[in-house]
Structure 1
Amino acid sequence: MFRVRRKFVSFIFSILIGIVAFQSCIYDFYRKEFVSEDKKNDEALLLSLFGLLPNPNQKLYGFYPGFSRSLSDSQFVTSEFFPKSSKKKIVFIHGWNPAERDSDPITNDEKKIQNIKNTFSNGMVHFQEGRASANAEFDLYLYTYRTSNSILVNGRQFYGTLRSNFTDSDQVYIVAHSMGGLVTRVALASETGSLPFVKLVVTLASPQFGSPFATPSFIGSNPFLNDLGSYLVGTQGGSELGYTNQGSGQTVISGAENLVLDVLNQSYLNFNLNGKFISFAGVMSNCTVGETFYYNTGCNILTNAGFTQSDGIVPRNSARLGNLSYKQIDIADCDHSMMAFQTTNPDNAKSLNLFTQVITEIRNSPY
């Protein structure tokens, strides 16, 4: 019976990937995203859907530590040209990027690097300045992608990028913020393929059971959320961040469902894949400790809806995968952005301590 159930979940997951990767990509994505004035761009994007070319909207960079906190674009080197060493590897992958839309032109290198900086500039500064001696033990890589695309498509492409850049003898540790954690879960799913060199994944405020703020039945009841909500649910990737009532310890939201996350999470349970994940959750003690009005407001909205513990975007239980991951860690008084080390001042103790804790967990993991 258990084998039949595993095969069924695997079958459904494969169908979901196929439906999104074929119907949605060939029709909807091509119509909305791939139509441009540049025929070569159209061809490149279309070929990437079939795995014949890398997707030009995603890229893996190696990072050269420098001396200035004003990080230069020259410190980001395309992974194919980044010198391989015997060090262990850390890969940072960012989350949702509200600055890019499906209809935008292909992202150039300057914009790709800026997308990475927007999430992880403090983390890169801590790395190059030797925080927790990370740069002595690890090489740092950074991955960027078009977040409005489906997490299923992005996950398969992330898988392909990892597979083509690392060997089975490497030791790779992924640090994923927000949506990046979901993309990573797809990349590591049994149905996607095998990545034995990925030893551990650290998720930072990833909505592993979704976020109410990408859920139509939740945002429709709050006028403050209308613009944000229509943007999120109006894209394939954004809609797949939606909240699910399924999962250990979930608070129920009327009308909330997310089939993509439900099947993905069930697959992880059936194939015992959660053991590779450490889940970090931001927990704001009150709704004034965030660094921006946006996250403090989000905290208030979630609190009033019964989510008394959150980072202003992702409820604690969702970020912790209902305590089903290998290890769960709460980080006090950090909003959603701060959970990616992004504080206004890079020397803020919350940013420094979180970076140190992530490196320590990687270093002390049994993998």
Structure 2
Amino acid sequence: MFRVRRNKLSTFVFFFIGIFVFQSCIYDFYRKEFVSEKKKNYELLLLAWLGLMQNPNQKLFGFVPGFSRNLSDAQFVSSDYFAKTGKKKIIFIHGWNPAERDSDPVTNDEKKIQNIKNTFSNGMIHFQEGRESAISEFDLYLYTYRTSNSILVNGRQFHSTLRSQFSDSDQVYIVAHSMGGLVTRMALAPENGFLPFVRLVVTLASPQFGSPFATPSFLNSNPFLNELGSYLVGTQGGSELGHTNQGVGQTNLAGANNPVLDALNQSYLSSGLNGRFVSFAGVMSDCNVGEAEYYKAGCSILNNASFTQSDGIVPINSALLGNLSYKQIQVADVDHSMMAFQTKNVDDTKSRNLFMSVISEIRNSPY
């Protein structure tokens, strides 16, 4: 069992306190400046839920490859205007953003694009530079959504977007990081209607059985984690990332309960749709191998709580769906962000190799 030294843990604590205070100040500013937006946002969300309009905080972009690693916003084109070709389609969908709140102003395109870049800039660079020859075989799309909303809401909207943008003859492959995997699973749930053009979904470190760090009982076991967690997961979307004790191979966590994931996973077991998923999981063999200090500390905290294999946020069994998916792949010595190709150096072999592995799984898919 690996332990973070006391001075490193102290650094982690002060680092997160700084983030907590900073993000709280931002949130207070938004709440004061846009208080009139709150009612408007909830009305828009209700209309989107009823299917009367598209959720303005969500959007599908097509990616136009360029020549610079400094990706331009002009390379992101609304899917309504993106030139459709006969190529197969890959859709990247990002994970959770803890700074978002439902009451925040409607997200403009600049912010939407930044959310995508924050997760997948390396992946887009690998694509436009011809890594694994992906650019010659696939068109690349990117989907963004407001992560504070329930995965039920986001999944239903993602389903509607997919249905409106693609035809049954298309071949679509979804690559989903973290929470994006749960939104995708909700979108493809039998209750929403079958999408035959979605051939395969690759999940990257998705908490398919949840994460202890979004679980009240786990957070309450540590005064610091409790204070931090109340802010970070204080939204419907954040709370739905919590650990569930149900699932093959799950570690029991006292007081853990996630009825949303339980119902979703049971639906997939009944339908056989897990056979369309390939699950990737990051495993930090040493808690110091990650690039981000908070994932290093998270790895140590999980180790001490009997979750001895993780990417610093998501335990391996959760990411691999208890080995129930079509295929499970472990990626050694990467943290949670690195599982979205996001290494500090875009040319890092871990980023490049993961991208090539994902493309290989899509290319060799039996569907």
> Which residue number in structure 1 is paired with residue 60 of structure 2?
60
Aligned-partner SS, 1:81: coil
Given that residues 36 and 105 in structure 1 are in contact (C-alpha distance below 8 angstroms), is that contact kept between their aligned partners in structure 2?
A: no
How far, CA to CA, are the matches of 1:42 and 1:312 in structure 2? Answer: 34
**Partners of 2:362 and 2:320 in 1: how far apart?**
17
Aligned residues: 336
Partner SS state of residue 54, structure 1: coil
Q: Give how far 1:194 is off.
A: 1.4
1:80 aligns to what? Answer: 80
Unaligned 5+ runs, structure 1: 1-30
Report runs of 4+ in structure 1 exceeding 6 Å deviation.
38-42
Tell me the percent identity.
79
Deviations 1:116-139 (A, max 9, x none): 000000000000000000010000
CA distance in 1, matches of 2:159, 2:77: 20
Deviation for aligned residue 1:45: 4.0
5 Å-filtered alignment, 1:1-367, equals 36-37=36-37, 44-367=44-367
Using structure 2 for the length normalisation, give the TM-score. Answer: 0.89
Partner Cα distance (1:46, 1:269) in 2? 30
Q: CA deviation at 1:166?
A: 0.4
- CA displacement, residues 162-194 of structure 1 (integer Å, 9 cap, x when unaligned): 000000000000000000000000100101111
1:250 counterpart letter in structure 2: Q
C-alpha RMSD over aligned residues: 1.7
Partner Cα distance (2:269, 2:61) in 1: 32
The answer (yes or no) to whether the contact 1:232–1:239 under 8 Å persists in 2 is no
Aligned partner of 1:90: which letter?
A: I
Aligned equivalents of 2:205, 2:322: Cα separation in 1: 13
| Counterpart AA for 1:80 | D
Residue pair 1:88, 1:137 contacting (<8 A) in 2 also: yes
Contact 1:91–1:141 (CA under 8 A) maintained in structure 2: yes
TM-score by length of 1: 0.89
Q: Structure 2 CA distance, aligned partners of 1:305 and 1:312?
A: 12
CA contact (8 A) 2:98 2:233 kept: no
**Aligned partners of 2:216 and 2:226 also within 8 Å:** no
Task: Describe the shift of the 1:290–1:196 C-alpha distance in structure 2 as closer, same or farther (beyond 3 A).
Answer: same
Q: Is the 8 A contact 2:89 2:172 kept in 1?
A: yes
Distance in 1 (alpha carbons) for counterparts of 2:362 and 2:228:
34
299 and 43 in structure 1: CA distance in 2 versus 1, 3 angstrom threshold: closer
Distance 1:351 1:88, change over 3 A: same
The one-letter amino acid paired with 2:75 is Q
User: Matched residues in 1 for 2:90 and 2:328: separation?
Assistant: 20
Q: Is the 8 A contact 2:215 2:243 kept in 1?
A: yes
In structure 1, the partner of 2:17 is none
Residues 13-48 of structure 1: CA distance to partner in whole angstroms, max 9, x if unpaired? xxxxxxxxxxxxxxxxxx9xx963598766544422
Partner of 1:11: none
Preserved contact between residue 175 and residue 201 of structure 1 (Cα < 8 Å): yes
For the residue of structure 1 that corresponds to 2:201, the secondary structure is: strand
- What do residues 183-211 of structure 1 show as CA deviations (whole Å, max 9, x unaligned)? 00010010111110000000000000000
1:279 and 1:329 in contact (8 A); partners too: yes
